[in-house]
């Protein structure tokens, strides 16, 4: 083997703890500090990182550089500390690594950082005894105490505190203390140890959130109880003016503890939302009930004018809707868009919610800024059960919005033939004209909804009705190349020879199937050679 091969062999033997092979290669004169591999680790790095104590001793005896750094600036001590090989750590310290016990790697961490993060308290104790800086800041400006607290290693936390760790040290930009991190992850034993050591229970991070916020948000009720018992301020607000109660909405036990500690149930954040808002948005019925029992205002509106009943109706959460109505919620409360809870339930087709709102006296005639009623919205989406419920409650079947569209327009335009049938049965005008003299039949044909077209025609829709430009439904069908609609209209005696005939349009658009259907039906007649000529020319252009 050449020199480089022997060095690689030494690294491999050290990694595997093959002490005999290591000694053999060293006797052959291989450099004990040779750098190997992508990271340029020495044999001592390999042996120390894997806790091969005898191999480490052999390498040190041969003069291996105890403070050698690989490409990440990690020393053998970093690797041994990371894995918690305390015997190896002690050997390295004795061999001179102690002089550089506070040397940092490229992540700005000393050997104490990974030892603390992984809860290797014996290793931590050995490093501290060698004068490791207990308050050294590493990645994200975390101290060893931050790392141990974050992982809930309470024995390690105790060792660090005993050695003088700053219990209130804050990360640079984030400004989080060890207590913030322990609370966030619900390590209540660690939280108790930090509090006993004098941790500030109401310290705020860069977002003005206290440890209580973080514990409440995660629903760690034991941790919340410990923080409250230590004097945690339950009504402090963060940069968004939220309190712990806003964040605790997902956890009933945490909410109960916060309320018992005097949490303000009606405090508003910067969006004017009370704690009842997140509880409603997430469908937490127990929390909603607890907040209502504690006196939550059920008629509050947020900055956008949305009420709590709006949120529950939009979700179709009829249980919460019923709870709000029982608590005195205004069933017809209007948002800034003049919509009411009934609209939101109607557009989603939440039938049970609709029933609850109607039973509470919701006004089916209310119109929004666009003059739409709940019936318009339900018809547009094709929620025929909801449509039937609204009609039964007295909704005006022919009411028009600001564009002169009755509910039938919207149902026909979107091809909801069951809804169309329900509206027609309730007295909707099948030939009602809107803007530009367009009828429901025009709209259904334009969109190619042939089933809806059949329903409208069966109900007496005028097959030859003209819009403001003189176009009939057959013109629309030919222009849009809806051949099935053409067939249905022709079966109902649609006039195929109007001036600017459907044949002209079909030919101009190059729709051969439609042209064929019209010619088969006798369109144009023998005396209209120009129509046939234009039809042929149109087809030629299309091909």
Q: Contacts by 293-296 with C-beta closer than 8 Å and gap 24+?
A: 294/259, 294/265, 295/265, 295/266, 296/265, 296/266
Q: What is the pLDDT of residue 250?
A: 76
Share of residues in the chain with pLDDT > 70 (%): 94
- The mean per-residue pLDDT over the stretch 179-207 comes to 98
Query: 493 near 463, Cβ under 8 Å?
Result: yes
Report the alpha-carbon distance of residue 438 to residue 467 in Å, rounded.
5
CB-based burial of residue 460 (10 Å sphere; 0-12 exposed, 13-18 middle, 19+ buried)?
A: exposed
- The per-residue pLDDT for range 242-285, each reduced to its tens digit, is 999 999 987 889 999 999 999 999 999 999 999 999 999 999 99
- The mean per-residue pLDDT over the stretch 114-119 comes to 98
**What single string gives the DSSP state of each residue in 81-130?**
HHHT-HHHHHHHHHTTGGGGTT---TTS--THHHHHHTT-HHHHHHHHHT
- The mean per-residue pLDDT over the stretch 119-131 comes to 98
Tokens 């109401």 locate to 202
Identify the bridge partners of residue 307 per DSSP, sorted by sequence position: 301
Rg value, the chain, Cα: 39
Report the alpha-carbon distance of residue 389 to residue 385 in Å, rounded.
6
pLDDT above 80 (res 519): no
Q: What is the pLDDT of residue 465?
A: 96
- The per-residue pLDDT for range 297-339, each reduced to its tens digit, is 999 999 999 999 999 999 999 999 999 999 999 999 998 777 8
CATH code of domain 298-429: 1.25.40.20
Q: How many CB atoms lie within 10 A of CB 327?
A: 16
Report the alpha-carbon distance of residue 508 to residue 479 in Å, rounded.
9
Q: How many CB atoms lie within 10 A of CB 475?
A: 25
- The mean per-residue pLDDT over the stretch 336-359 comes to 94
* Fold agreement (172-294, 298-429): yes
Share of residues in the chain with pLDDT > 90 (%): 88
Task: Give 392's Cβ-side CA count (13 Å radius).
Answer: 10
Q: How does the average pLDDT of the chain come out, rounded? A: 94
> DSSP 3-state assignment of 41?
strand
Q: What is the pLDDT of residue 249?
A: 81
Query: 118 near 82, Cβ under 8 Å?
Result: yes
- The per-residue pLDDT for range 378-412, each reduced to its tens digit, is 999 999 999 999 999 999 999 999 999 999 999 99
pLDDT above 60 (res 525): no
Q: Which of 509, 417, 405, 517 is nearest to 458 (CA)?
A: 417
CB-based burial of residue 14 (10 Å sphere; 0-12 exposed, 13-18 middle, 19+ buried)?
A: buried
Rounded-to-10 torsion of CA 171, 174, 179, 185: -120
CATH 1.25.40.20 fits 172-294, yes or no: yes
Q: What is the pLDDT of residue 526?
A: 40
Give the contacts of 123 (CB within 8 A, at least 6 positions apart).
Answer: 80, 81, 84, 85, 86, 89, 115
Tokens representing 360 are: 């509470």
Report the alpha-carbon distance of residue 227 to residue 181 in Å, rounded.
13
Q: Which helix (H) or strand (E) holds 262?
A: none
pLDDT above 70 (res 542): no
Tokens 């410990």 locate to 226
Query: 239 near 207, Cβ under 8 Å?
Result: yes
pLDDT above 60 (res 533): no
Q: 270 vs 514, which has greater pLDDT? A: 270
Q: Which helix (H) or strand (E) holds 14?
A: helix 3-16
Report the alpha-carbon distance of residue 541 to residue 292 in Å, rounded.
71
- The per-residue pLDDT for range 277-295, each reduced to its tens digit, is 999 999 999 999 999 999 9
Give the contacts of 88 (CB within 8 A, at least 6 positions apart).
Answer: 47, 48, 51, 52, 53, 56, 80
Q: What is the pLDDT of residue 215?
A: 97
Q: What is the pLDDT of residue 41?
A: 98
pLDDT above 50 (res 146): yes
Q: What is the pLDDT of residue 514?
A: 75
Tokens representing 403 are: 């564009």
- The per-residue pLDDT for range 74-102, each reduced to its tens digit, is 999 999 999 999 999 999 999 999 999 99
Report the alpha-carbon distance of residue 33 to residue 19 in Å, rounded.
16
Tokens 């094709």 locate to 382
b/e per residue, 68-91, with b = 16+ CB within 10 A? bbbeeebbbbbbbbbbbbbebbbb
Q: What is the pLDDT of residue 295?
A: 98
Query: 215 near 186, Cβ under 8 Å?
Result: yes
Kindly list the domain boundaries of the chain, sorted by start residue: 172-294, 298-429
CA 268 from centroid of its chain's CA atoms: 23
Q: What angle do CA 21, 26, 32 make, to 5 degrees?
A: 110
Q: What is the pLDDT of residue 527?
A: 42
Query: 280 near 320, Cβ under 8 Å?
Result: yes
- The mean per-residue pLDDT over the stretch 22-48 comes to 97
Task: Give 199's Cβ-side CA count (13 Å radius).
Answer: 33
Tokens representing 398 are: 């022919």
Query: 25 near 61, Cβ under 8 Å?
Result: no
Sign of the torsion formed by the C-alpha atoms of 501, 506, 512 and 514: negative
The predicted model scores a pTM of: 0.84
Query: 248 near 219, Cβ under 8 Å?
Result: yes
Report the alpha-carbon distance of residue 40 to residue 296 in Å, rounded.
64
pLDDT above 60 (res 49): yes
Measured CA to CA in angstroms, residue 404 lies from 26, 243, 340, 390, 432 at distances of: 95, 48, 21, 20, 10
The total number of residues written for the chain in this structure: 543
Sign of the torsion formed by the C-alpha atoms of 287, 288, 290 and 296: positive
Report the alpha-carbon distance of residue 433 to residue 445 in Å, rounded.
15
Q: Which helix (H) or strand (E) holds 324?
A: helix 318-326
């Amino acid at each position: 083997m050449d020199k480089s091969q022997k060095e690689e062999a030494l690294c491999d033997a050290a990694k595997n703890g093959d002490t005999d092979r290591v000694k053999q290669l060293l006797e052959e004169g291989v450099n004990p500090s040779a750098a190997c591999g992508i990271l340029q680790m020495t044999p001592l790095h390999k042996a120390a990182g894997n806790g091969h104590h005898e191999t480490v001793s052999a390498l040190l005896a041969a003069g291996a550089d105890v403070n050698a750094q690989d490409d990440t600036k990690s020393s053998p001590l970093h690797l041994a500390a990371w894995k918690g090989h305390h015997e190896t750590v002690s050997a390295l310290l004795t061999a001179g690594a102690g002089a550089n016990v506070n040397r940092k790697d490229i992540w700005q961490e000393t050997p104490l950082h990974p030892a603390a993060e992984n809860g290797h308290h014996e290793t931590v104790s050995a490093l501290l005894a060698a004068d490791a800086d207990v308050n050294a800041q590493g990645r994200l400006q975390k101290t060893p105490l931050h790392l141990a607290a974050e992982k809930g290693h309470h024995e390690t936390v105790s060792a660090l505190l005993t050695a003088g760790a700053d219990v209130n040290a804050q990360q640079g930009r984030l400004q989080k203390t060890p207590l913030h991190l322990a609370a966030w992850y619900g390590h209540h034993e660690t939280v108790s140890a930090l509090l006993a050591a004098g941790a500030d229970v109401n310290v705020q991070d860069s977002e003005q959130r206290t440890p209580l916020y973080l514990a409440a948000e995660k629903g760690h009720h034991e941790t919340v109880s410990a923080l409250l018992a230590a004097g945690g301020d339950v009504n402090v607000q963060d940069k968004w003016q939220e309190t712990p109660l806003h964040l605790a909405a997902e956890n009933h036990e945490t909410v109960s503890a916060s309320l018992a500690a005097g949490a303000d149930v009606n405090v508003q954040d910067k969006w004017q939302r009370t704690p009842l808002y997140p509880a409603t948005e997430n469908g937490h019925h127990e929390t909603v009930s607890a907040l209502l029992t504690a006196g939550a205002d059920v008629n509050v509106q947020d900055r956008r004018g949305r009420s709590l009943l709006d949120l529950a109706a939009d979700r179709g959460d009829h249980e919460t809707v019923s709870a709000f109505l029982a608590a005195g919620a205004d069933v017809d409360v209007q948002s800034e868009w003049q919509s009411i809870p009934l609209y939101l339930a109607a557009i989603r087709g939440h039938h049970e919610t609709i029933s609850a709102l109607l039973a509470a006296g919701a006004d089916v005639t209310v119109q929004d800024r666009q003059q739409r009623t709940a019936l318009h919205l339900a018809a547009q989406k094709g929620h025929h059960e909801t449509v039937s419920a609204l009609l039964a409650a007295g909704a005006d079947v022919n009411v028009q919005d600001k564009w002169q569209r009755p509910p039938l327009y919207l149902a026909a335009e979107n091809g909801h033939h069951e809804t169309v049938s329900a509206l027609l049965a309730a007295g909707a005008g099948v030939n009602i004209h809107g803007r530009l003299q367009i009828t429901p039949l025009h709209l259904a044909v334009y969109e190619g909804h042939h089933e809806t077209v059949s329903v409208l025609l069966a109900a007496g829709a005028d097959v030859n009705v003209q819009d403001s430009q003189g176009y009939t439904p057959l013109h629309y069908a030919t222009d849009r190349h809806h051949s099935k609609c053409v067939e249905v209209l022709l079966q109902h005696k649609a006039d195929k020879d109007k001036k600017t005939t459907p044949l002209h349009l079909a030919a101009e658009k190059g729709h051969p199937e439609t042209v064929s259907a019209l010619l088969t039906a006798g369109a144009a007649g023998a005396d209209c050679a120009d129509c046939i000529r234009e039809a042929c020319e149109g087809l030629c252009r299309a091909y």
